[in-house]
Copies of this chain bind each other. A is one copy, B any other.
Amino acid sequence: MAVTIRDVARRAHVSVATVSRALTSPELVRPETRSRVLAAASDLGYQPNRAARGLITGKTGNIGIVVPDLDNPFFTGVLKAVQARAMQADYAVFVADSDEDPVAEAKLVHAMAKQVDGVVLCAPGLEDSQVYEVAGATSLVLLNRRLPGVPAALMDSAGGMHAIVDHLVALGHSRIAYLNGPRTSWSNQERRRGLLSAVAQHKVDLVDLGPFAPRYEGGLQAADLAVAADTTAIIAYNDIMALGVLARLRDRGISVPGDVSVTGFDDLTYAALCSPALTTVAMPVASAGRTAVNLLLDWLDSDNTDVPHVVLETQLIVRGTTTPPRR
């Protein structure tokens, strides 16, 4: 049924070895015969069988990506970029969704390991030791998580948080609430780090609340605590929580940004679409995805001597939910 390398060889009057060479190392065959086999190959619509190739080369031509939740636009953003970059480099992409379950994350990487040349891992919930453990099974690139010894594509969320605080104090705010996401998540720690550094620098009162579920409902809950603490600005862990905050404040008749300013984090599409549009910081999801596969590809054919950590810039997007405080 399928057309094999043998068919091409027959049609081009050469051996299978020559066909293989013409396709994978063109410089090894005479231009004349090379074009002959190329012609034969395209005539027959020949596509090499990747399984057979992988069997002997030991490389699969595939990469994997495991994410905690495919319904989360943040991860699908990186997935989209990963997919695009991989396809460009002639790699195919396996995707796995761990459903936020750390043990599933580890399992999935192991299961993928035999079928891919490497995987990019988004695993905010995994223990460091477990990450190292799965790193033994295949080549890893971490996304948005820094760990000595394993390459990573990072986003400067600390810097983004710093920018938010700078923005808020520039507007004149001096008592600010931060609504924590999950305490153990690397993202929350990073954001908090930027927050604290900025706060120390500016001498503002910080009201540190939470942790809350990083969901709409978490925002609803957190909003009340923040107004009870008498703050003029609320920094939410992420956009979804911020949306919850906005909804709760509106329900209680508290005007945004008139009475209180609110910021999110991530710049998901609806941040721009809600009303008032949300001030937030944009994460470079696409370039992070791209560089993650770049790192992986480099890592694969290199002496694995230095472990690159590249950090991408975030960007504060000022929209409608932040103004100077009413005095």
Chain A residues within CB distance 8 Å of chain B = 2, 47, 49-52, 54-55, 60, 62, 69-71, 73, 76-77, 79-80, 83-84, 87, 92-97, 99, 111-112, 114-115, 216, 243, 247, 250, 269-270, 273-275
Contact = CB atoms under 8 A, between A and B. Distances in A.
Contacts of A93: 94-96
Contact of A83 (B60, B95, B112): B95
Contacts of A50: 114-115
A55 B94 CA distance: 19
Given A55-B52, A273-B216, A273-B270, A47 B80 contact: no
B70 A97 contact: no
Nearest to A75: B76
Given A71-B80, A93-B94, 11 more contacts: A2-B114, A49-B114, A51-B51, A51-B60, A80-B97, A83-B95, A83-B96, A84-B99, A92-B94, A92-B111, A274-B274
Nearest to A99: B84
Contacts of A95: 79, 83, 93-95
Count copies of this chain in the complex.
2
Contacts of A84: 97, 99
Nearest to A216: B273
Q: Which 6 A-B pairs have the closest CB atoms?
A: A70-B80, A270-B270, A51-B51, A51-B54, A95-B95, A76-B76
Nearest to A112: B92
Contacts of A77: 71
A70 B92 contact: no
Contacts of A269: 71, 270
Contacts of A114: 2, 47, 49-50
A254 B114 CA distance: 59
A247 B276 CA distance: 10
B76 A71 contact: yes
Contacts of A96: 83, 87, 92-93
Contacts of A99: 84
A231 B87 CA distance: 47
A134 to B, nearest CB: 13
B49 A70 contact: no
Nearest to A54: B51
A102 to B, nearest CB: 16
24 contacts: A2-B114, A49-B114, A51-B52, A51-B54, A51-B55, A51-B115, A52-B55, A62-B94, A69-B80, A70-B79, A70-B80, A71-B76, A71-B80, A71-B269, A73-B73, A73-B76, A84-B99, A92-B115, A93-B95, A95-B95, A243-B273, A250-B275, A270-B270, A270-B273
Nearest to A61: B115
A18 B269 CA distance: 55
Nearest to A48: B114
A94 B94 contact: yes
Contacts of A73: 71, 73, 76
Nearest to A55: B51
